[in-house]
Amino acid sequence: MSAQIKPIVRSLACQSCPIREHTLCSATDVRTMECLRTGTRHVTPGVDVFPQGGDCTNLYIMLSGWACLYELLEDGRRQILQFLLPGDVLGFNRHDGVATFGAQAITTVSACVVPRDRFMEAALKRPQLALELSALIAAQEAMAYEHLTSVGRRTARERVAYLLLELFCRARSRIPSDSLDQITLPLTQSHIADASGLTPVHTNRMLRNLREAGIIELNQRTLRVRNPDLLAAAAGFEREVTLPYLPHRRWILGHARAKDVDNDGMVTA
């Protein structure tokens, strides 16, 4: 494979795109997206898809690989805001001004590149697309809220368990190659720590704890969930959880502190 002539493939055109149906693109016809996109971008592990503070004029639709949204404080503390898997979209929340967070490739990432202004223009003519976009952002917002309550109100063990459960569910539903009880998890413990608001050292101890409890196995970039129910319990769920999709997880009854009742119907004027 040295001096061989490489055939020019229009790599990953929309028609043959494996994730077309599972992301933003499904809201419109193949032709439209085909015209909007300018190409595919490949990013090597550790480098930014777009840096914090920089401007980013493109939307990126994740095609393969893992990335993360992060925010750095000025003294180096890092918070990982979200892990991005195939089908996730980056870059729309950077309208005006400079956003406070960046995106970084964890594994080798390939992403579909769509200039934002071009996309917005198209969305003006195809409201379906605009609404799909807002639904997508709303889902991401909901996930951000879940992370917030996790980091704000769960114990270290619960946070780690919750994160693993989330990633397990998301990866399993997105990446078909993964088997039923395990996924490939290309994260370092520092990634997990920065997403959970913990130190790497303490994250390690929590992982050991979960491992010794027979709940998970985690080594060589693979996470095996030996007992999903126990993992859910460790994450703080007392009753059932719907595994396949976590982001909009089914809520479970019982409001411990909800002394107040809904008063829908008090519409006056």
Partner DNA sequence: CGCGATTTTGAGCACCTTCAATCCGTGTGG
Partner DNA sequence: CCACACGGATTGAAGGTGCTCAAAATCGCG
Which chain residues interact with DNA by CB under 7 A? 155-157, 188-190, 197-202, 204-205, 207-208, 219-220
Chosen from DNA, a copy of itself, none, partner binding at 200 (C-beta under 5 to 8 Å by type)? DNA
83 binds a copy of itself (CB under 8 A): no
Choosing from 15, 16, 18, 39, the residue that interacts with a copy of itself (CB under 8 A) is 39
Give the C-alpha separation, 183 to 224, whole Å: 7
Instruction: Kindly state whether residue 6 participates in binding a copy of itself, applying the rule CB under 8 A.
Output: no
User: Cβ distance 144 to 82 under 8 Å?
Assistant: yes
* Residue 48 binds a copy of itself, judged by CB under 8 A: yes
Structure tokens at 18: 């494996």
Residue 166: how many other CB atoms lie within 10 Å: 20
SS3 of residue 71 by DSSP: strand
Is residue 103 helix, strand or coil?
strand
The distance of closest approach from Cβ of residue 100 to a copy of itself in the complex, given in angstroms and rounded to an integer, is 6
Q: Which residue number, 28 or 222, has a Cβ lying nearer to DNA?
A: 222
CB of 178 to DNA, least distance (A): 18
Site string for a copy of itself, 228-247 (x = CB under 8 A): --------xxxx--------
Distance, in Å, from the CA atom of 113 to the CA atom of 39, rounded to the nearest integer, reads 5
Residues contacting a copy of itself: total by CB under 8 A: 97
Cβ proximity to a copy of itself: between 5 and 180 the closer is 5
Q: What are phi and psi of 168, to 5 degrees?
A: -60, -50
134 binds, among DNA, a copy of itself, none (CB under 5 to 8 A by kind): a copy of itself
Residue whose tokens read 């693979």 = 222
Radius of gyration of the chain (CA): 20
